[in-house]
């Protein structure tokens, strides 16, 4: 169907933030999301929280996946979430974190509003399923 037929596609921003050059995981995820039929916007390396917020707002993504392997999640993630709130974009964006997050830090991130954390060994299919099930209704 054409004009009236709705064509909903899940849009994701895969973001690398801060001084962290490890982008293999982000690339793998971007590719897997693409093959799952999602539209993936990749941020590129070394982005500041502001840039991530700008991209998430303008691209109106359903899902923001933040990849951090530098250990700076406890400073960078709050900044991003605050930025999203500033533009009224937090409520209907599914925020995910991927990378190395010590168990002790997880609770804090969940409290901030991170929906799920995917550490090493996470299954790609589980991640995709999680996105499909939890992508915000708009």
Partner 1 sequence: MTAEETLIDDLLAGKHRALARVITKIENRSPGYRELVSQLHEHTGSAEVVGITGSPGAGKSTLVDKMAATYRERGETVGVIAIDPSSPFTGGAVLGDRIRMASNVGDMDVFFRSMSARGSLGGLSTATTDAVKALDAFGKDRIIVETVGAGQNEIEIVKTADTVAVLVPPGSGDDVQMLKAGILEIADIFVVNKADMDGADRTVKELREMIHMQDAGPMAGHHGADAIESSDDTEDDDTGWEPQIVETVAKTGEGVEEFLETLEKHAVWLEETGELEEQARQRYGAEIRTLLREDTADLIETELEARGGLDEYIDAVLARETDPYTVADEVLAPLAECVERQRDR
Where along the sequence are the contacts to partner 1 (CB under 8 A)?
A: 1-9, 11, 30-31, 33-44, 47-48, 50-51, 54-55, 57-60, 87-89, 138
Minimum CB separation from partner 1 for residue 108, in Å? 26
Of 30 and 114, which CB lies nearer to partner 1 in the complex structure?
Answer: 30
Lookup: tokens for 21: 């050059």
Question: What's the DSSP call for residue 81?
Answer: H
Closest approach, Cβ 134 to partner 1, in A, equals 18
C-alpha to C-alpha distances, 127 to 35, 115, 133, nearest whole angstrom: 13, 12, 10
Smallest distance, partner 1 to C-beta of residue 138, A: 8
Nearer to partner 1, 44 or 119 (CB): 44
Q: How far is the CB of 45 from partner 1 (least distance, A)?
A: 9
* 14 and 31 Cβ atoms separated by less than 8 Å: no
Q: How far is Cα 3 from Cα 75, in angstroms, rounded to an integer?
A: 45
Residue 3 φ/ψ region, left for φ over 0, alpha for ψ in the -120 to 50 degree band, beta for the rest: alpha
Which is closer to partner 1, CB of 33 or CB of 118?
33
Nearest in space to 95 (alpha carbons), one of 85, 125, 7, 75: 85
Judged by beta carbon, residue 57 or residue 115, the one nearer partner 1 is 57
């Amino acid at each position: 169907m054409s004009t009236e037929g709705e064509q909903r596609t899940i849009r994701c921003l895969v973001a690398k933030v801060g001084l962290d050059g490890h982008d293999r995981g982000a690339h793998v995820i971007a590719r897997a999301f693409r093959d799952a039929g999602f539209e993936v916007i990749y941020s590129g390396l070394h982005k500041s929280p502001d840039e991530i917020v700008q991209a998430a707002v303008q691209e109106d993504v359903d899902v923001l996946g933040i990849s951090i392997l530098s250990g700076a999640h406890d400073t960078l993630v709050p900044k991003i979430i605050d930025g999203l709130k500033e533009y009224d974009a937090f409520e209907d964006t599914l925020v995910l974190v991927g990378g190395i997050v010590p168990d002790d830090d997880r609770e804090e991130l969940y409290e901030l509003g991170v929906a799920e954390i995917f550490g090493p060994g996470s299954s790609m299919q589980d991640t995709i399923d999680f996105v499909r099930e939890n992508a915000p209704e708009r």
